Every structure is written in C-alpha cells, then in structure tokens.
Structure 1
C-alpha cells in the first residue's frame, strides 16, 4: 500500500502548483488526475505570464515534466472514487477506479468545476468561438460581431458591459428570459440589441459559429461570443468529507486553503464554485501548499 504525506486530487494549475511547492519542501506527495479538466476543450490559455497562448494540454505536460525533477512527487493518471476518513481525520484512505488504495495524512482538493450551459448546443462551439471568460479570450474576439448568452439579468448586464471593452458589435440573447425595463435601457443606450426569444439552434461548422436561429425562424449572423454557464463540482468530495459550505456555495476556509475539516485543504475553482484563471488557480495552489507544509512543520518539529 502506498503511503504519502499528502494526496493532491486534481492536476490542473492549482493541483500542479500545490504538488510542486510541496515536492520542493521535501514532502512525499501523490498527485491524482483523471484528465477531465474543464479547459481541455480550449485551444489556447491566456493571461499567464511566460505561458500566454499555451495550449492547455501543453501547459499540463510542462507542469508534469517539471514535477519529475522531484523524487518525492508521484503522479497517478487515474480517478479517485472514494476517500475514507480515519479517526479524528488523522489519516485518509483513498481508493481509485482501478481498485488500488493509498494512505495520506492530509488531502488537498483541487478537482475544479464543470459547466452547464443555458443552451446545450453551446458545447459544440465552446473553446473555439464561444467562451466564458473575456479576460482569457476577449483579445482574440476583439472587434468581431459577438453574442452574449445569459439567463440571469445580473450576469447578462455584467458580461455585456465587460465584453463591450473588446467589441461594440454585440447582441444579448436571453433565451426566453425577460429583462427588466431598466436593464434593457442600459444596453439600449449603447445600441446593443436584446433578443429575448428562445433559441432554436446554433449554426456553424467545426466549432466556429456562423448564425443563431430563434424559434420564430429568424436568424442573426454572429462570429462567436461569450456565455454565462452555471458551474458545479462534478466530484462531491467537498460534501462527502463534511467541509463547511456557505450560502453561495463557497467552501469556508481560513484564506490559506484550510477547510473546516482538519487536514483537508482546498485550492482553485473547487473552493469558490466559479471559473478562475490559470494564474489565480496556480497562486491558490501555492497558498494551500504553504498551509499544508506549515502544518506538517508545526506538528512534526
């Protein structure tokens, strides 16, 4: 049976960063990842200094290659199916889908989040011509005729105002949801059309949007756009392990990744239930690693 100081679950930017920092601190680390990271459909990742424009799979490969320098880090490309807590959370048994078990004193959850789209066919274009983060992909979509797809008025207005910095040629689609008179007036002042009719289908090829057809049969030409998805944790370890979650779905921490459950830490998108940039996720992974190492130091000195 493999025994680790800490097991890190999730090999995105947060998990890779956590593992790197702990490996450099000479902690015995097991990093587990099943390759279901949210950004795997994205063509390029942006906003990470020295890595701007790197493809997600290349970013991951570079990260894993860097971890190979540290003999205390072991990487496992497999899915964790169960985490069992020992008495007083002093040790954890981790089971994988290939019927193996691992022991660790501490757990870092960096499993990320996944999206649910207001229009399911958005996924056919997601990562190529429709995106969720203007800071990540707004520059590439600048000055193009774009669509904003959202079903909550607060997010409709926020996303539209934000994307307006990159393109003035916008159409807001609410997919059948009414927008208030005040909200509509804000956008009309900028000559931004609002289409509240339900969408019938998106039309395009190879992930590149060309048109949007509404239930009435009307179509509008668009080259791409931004969508506001709903996010959820696809892996429910946060709930299963009893970590406290606030009314907004955010995991309660001390600001350094320590959850309300002893020896369980969290990093990246998993904590906040919202999307995050690679840069921010990596920084949060570093913070969680420092918390883990500090706790080991105090406990073992």
Structure 2
C-alpha cells in the first residue's frame, strides 16, 4: 500500500502534521526513533494548556490523539534510507529492513545540539543550564546566571537573558565576537564579560554552583544559558537534494515545501525559530496544509 505521506520524526512538528493530515483524510505513517533533542529537558513551557508538560507526557498525549484516527499509523523504528522510486513515490527503509512507499515525505527529524566546548557541561545541561530563556528563564529569574556562548549571536542572547535576571555574566569561552561598542554597552549595564576559556563547571546533581576560568577566576553562579549550535539530526534532506539555509536548516517556503517535489520539512529540521514546542507544532500544521493543498491541486489538475 502506498500512503499519502510518510513523516520522519515524532516530535511536535511531526506529530501535529500527522494530526492535521489524518483529519484531512490522508493516509499517514509516522516513523519515530524516540531520540528527541529535548530528552534532557525535565519540562517544557510556553505551550498553552500544556505549560510544564514533560516531553514524555506530551508524546503520550499526542499518541492518544492520533490513535483516534485509523488512517494514521505510528511506527517506532528508525529510518535508514529514502529513495525516489521510478513511479514517483518514495521508498522508505527502516532499521529492521521493512520497506514502505509514500507519495510524499515530511522531514521532521529535528536537530542535534552542539554544546559549547566546556568540560562537564553535559552534566548541567537540561538541569541548570538551558538553551532557551523563553522556555526556562521564569524558573531562574533574579538568580546569578551565566551565558556561555561560542556563536556570533552572543550579544543578542545577552539582552534576552537580561530580561529575566540583571545578575548575569557573559563568557565566550575563548572566542571574540563582541565589538568595542557592544562591550561598552555591557559595561554600562554592569554585565561582566569574559573572553578567556572556561576550564570547568562545578556543582552537584546537575545544579551549577561555580564557573572556573583558565586564569583561576572562580565565580558563583546558580545556572544560566548554554547557547548550543546545531546540526541536522539525520542526513535525509541533503541526500534527497534539498537546499539548506546558510544556517544549516532545510529551506522551505513557509508551508513546508522544499525545492524537491514531494519532499517537505517542518520544525527544527527547517530551523524554525525560536525553537519552542508550540512553534514547532504550528510549523508541522502548516506543512500538513501545504502537503494536502498540493495533493488537492494534483487531483484537480
């Protein structure tokens, strides 16, 4: 059987796309390898009616919603290959050697984080160091915080974090991105800026207590933001010939369409910003509408 759409990725974008396509009477199969980027996150915020939901609870509730629709199939399996078949469909192969055919493919495979190169940072990430002030800033308001960033957006992220706490320091871990004017702004706001490398982080049970720099300076901090880089979690976008943005996301037109006919992308894989649960889910909905619209257009000539 050839399904209307094969969705790769069981995060908020893929799940919401499956729901909208299922309700559009399309036959959908969703592949989920159960390796979400937010697995280290205790709870997720900013999604109305689901504020504070755990990633596991969110997925469970989403699966319950999808189970109402017999035309939506969930497969707990990793996809290992996708090829364009001669008939114009896509042939999907899983880790178990099973094969499926689909008229369209939605890549909602997400991203993998690349954390700043600081020894032991993984022990604190998701517990007291986070990537998104909008997601976790409320719980850390007015605490002594640190921004650790190795990317050119360090000044912007500093301003965002300052909204939740005025007691912050900024560390670029050996990189130099700030201009003299930006440094002057931080100085005027009494925000210390450290360019030297961080030797280590100290704390217990994931709770940050101190930051140790290479010159021996130790500063007490209760948490903060570790501005992560990213890469595509899976290579299927490039393998299928999809164009990427300058920042490594799969380029779409806003309704999930890529430059490859029949291939769509949504959520973190398309580098939808900011990277929040509710925004990824909304992007999945838009991609589903794009897929259904294109199928209707083909049906009506």
**How many residue pairs align between the two structures?**
298
Alignment partner of 1:103 out of 101, 104, 110: 101
Distance 2:27 2:52 in 1: 32
8 Å Cα contact 1:132/1:227 also seen in 2: yes
1:10-54 deviation digits (Å, cap 9, x = unpaired): 011100000001111111110001111111111110000000000
Deviation string, structure 1 residues 212-271 (Cα, Å, up to 9, x no partner)? 112223211100000211111020111000012233434332221111111111111101
- Shift, 1:125, TM fit: 1.0
Matches of 1:182 and 1:136, distance apart in 2: 29
In terms of mean alpha carbon deviation, does 179-188 or 233-242 score higher?
A: 179-188
Distance 2:299 2:250 in 1: 27
Query: Residue 220 of structure 1 aligns with which residue?
Result: 219
**What is the TM-score normalised by the length of structure 1?**
0.95
Per-residue deviation, 1:274 = 5.7
> Structure 2 CA distance, aligned partners of 1:207 and 1:274?
27
Q: How does 1:69-84 map to 2 (within 5 A)?
A: 69-84=68-83
Confirm or deny: 8 A CA contact 2:266 2:272 kept in the other structure.
no
Provide structure 2 residue ranges, at least 5 long, that are not aligned to the other structure.
none
- Deviation by residue 1:121-177 (Cα, 9 ceiling, x = unmatched): 32211111101111111111100000010123x422111111111000001111122
CA distance in 2, matches of 1:165, 1:159: 10
Q: Give the match's secondary structure for 1:75.
A: strand
Which has the higher mean CA deviation after the structures are superposed, 173-182 or 4-13? 173-182
Unaligned runs of 5+ in 1: none
In the alignment, is the contact (CA less than 8 A) between 2:231 and 2:248 conserved in 1? Answer: no
CA contact 1:233–1:273 (8 Å) conserved in 2 = no
Kindly state the Cα deviation for residue 119 of structure 1 after the two structures are TM-superposed.
Answer: 2.5
Deviations 1:179-230 (A, max 9, x none): 4322211100010111222111111111111111122232111000002111
**Do the aligned partners of 1:113 and 1:274 also contact (CA within 8 Å) in 2?**
no
User: Is the 2:146–2:221 contact (alpha carbons within 8 Å) kept by the matching residues of 1?
Assistant: yes
Please name the residue that 1:49 is paired with: 48
- Name the Cα RMSD after superposition: 1.5
Q: TM-score, normalised by structure 2?
A: 0.95
Preserved contact between residue 134 and residue 163 of structure 1 (Cα < 8 Å):
yes
SS at match of 1:182: helix
